[in-house]
Amino acid sequence: MSIRGKAYIAGIYEFPGRKAADKSLAQLHGEFAKGALEDAGLTYADVDAYYCAGDAPGLGGLAMAEYMGLKLQHIDSTETGGSSYVAHIGHAAAAIAAGKCNVALVTLAGKPKSQRPGTPRGGIEHDAPEYGFEMICGPRVVNMYAMAAMRHMHEYGTTSEQLAWIKVAASHHAQHNEHALMRDVVTVDDVLSSPMISDPLHRLDCCVITDGGGALVIVSPEIAKTLDRQCVKVLGHGEAPKHLDGGRVDLTYTGAAWSGPKAFEEAGVTHSDIKYMSIYDSFTITVLETLEDLGFCEKGQGGKFVADGNLISGVGKIPFNTDGGGLCSNHPANRGGMTKVLEAVRQLRNEAHPKVQVDCDIALAHGTGGSIGTRMGSATVILGREDS
């Protein structure tokens, strides 16, 4: 069984702000849900399936179903970090194809910039089996990704200049996004002269930190037909966790090496069919390794592939993250998978900014959660225009 053509993205919403100090976490989820449902021409009452990840408050789906007054027949709180919302699309499409539901809502919200002091952290971190062995080493988000970059440079000769091109491309797109946190166009030299945070990653190799989030509505083909809004067809999905494999550590590739081929196979398309791609960009190295693993270039050739503006819309062969991505625009709740999907939907609906819009009938969105320095969730979706 395949999900190809069995589900459509009918509504999207992205919080335009980058700080949300005046709203509760549940309120943000609820408002983003309302925004995406209104975009589709639907209401809370139409929703019969709800998807959320670890950023949702309380018991996740249960707390939010009650808050929004949803009457559900399917619920999924798969937590794979920032990739969750990309994986949720595949799960929702499968549930719709199996007849379990018709209107699936996915939400993401968080406020890392303005969390009230003393807010308890979610999760049961101390019980994680790796915790005792890793916390003693001072792992931070950035030095974990930095270790992947260091090894990739060692094995393949990737350079800091090549990584910098990824930020440069994102900044070229962000200048056109009025909501982007960083709208200044930067150069390779700007990236290299920004402070070294954790070798070899500079400050400008890192993504922004923002409050906010967004939501998606995924519906059955029958519902899509009844809506006035242009819908986007789900063509294929793949997901895979990658971890340290009992000590057989290799940080030069990501789970995209497994999730990507599955998505391409299900969609029945090839790389040359992809006109736009949203690639998870927590750090520049995340993009570089993911592009190789998805097969847009040979393993180890990512540096050459991203250099010289190849990812800039209207300049290079294939544009990425035309909203400015997590690197410049928005990385709400430190989870970038949702916004990756949202910009892919805008491209397919011809609703991206005119300066970055491409003639796009097929697009790819990829999410990475957790850390490429330890264990990660990777999820890929391939989406098409309604008539594709």
Partner 1 sequence: MSEQKIKIRVPFINEETEHFWNATGEGKLLVKQCADCNEYHYYPRTICPFCMSDNTEWKESPGTGTVYTYSIMRRVPVPYCIAYVTLDEGITMMTNIIDVDLETIKIGMKVKVSFVDTGADCALPFFTAA
Binding region for partner 1 (CB under 8 A): 126-127, 129-140, 142-143, 146-148, 150-151, 154, 195-201, 244-249, 251, 374
The three-class DSSP label of residue 218 is strand
* Residue number, 117 or 195, with CB nearest to partner 1: 195
End-to-end CA distance of the chain: 19
CA atoms within 13 A on the CB side of 197: 19
CB of 295 to partner 1, least distance (A): 24
Alpha helices (runs of H) in the chain, residue ranges in sequence order: 25-40, 61-68, 84-97, 131-134, 141-156, 160-174, 188-193, 221-226, 256-267, 284-294, 302-306, 337-348
User: Do 346 and 356 touch, CB atoms closer than 8 A?
Assistant: no
* Residue number, 127 or 222, with CB nearest to partner 1: 127
CB of 207 to partner 1, least distance (A): 16
User: Do 384 and 276 touch, CB atoms closer than 8 A?
Assistant: no
* Residue number, 44 or 253, with CB nearest to partner 1: 253
What is the layout of strands, in order, in the sheet containing 103-110?
74-76, 49-51, 103-110, 212-219, 8-14, 232-242, 376-385, 362-370, 276-279
Q: Which of these, 190, 201, 112, 211, lies nearest to 159 by C-alpha position?
A: 201
* Residue number, 374 or 388, with CB nearest to partner 1: 374
* Residue number, 319 or 373, with CB nearest to partner 1: 373
* Residue number, 99 or 129, with CB nearest to partner 1: 129
Distance CA 201, CA 222 (A): 48
Residue type, 114: S
User: Do 204 and 163 touch, CB atoms closer than 8 A?
Assistant: no
CB of 148 to partner 1, least distance (A): 7
CB of 244 to partner 1, least distance (A): 8
* Residue number, 130 or 189, with CB nearest to partner 1: 130
* Residue number, 205 or 323, with CB nearest to partner 1: 205
CB of 248 to partner 1, least distance (A): 7
CB of 373 to partner 1, least distance (A): 9
CB of 154 to partner 1, least distance (A): 5
CB of 194 to partner 1, least distance (A): 11
Give residues with Cβ within 8 angstroms of 351, minimum separation 6. Answer: 357
User: Do 217 and 341 touch, CB atoms closer than 8 A?
Assistant: no
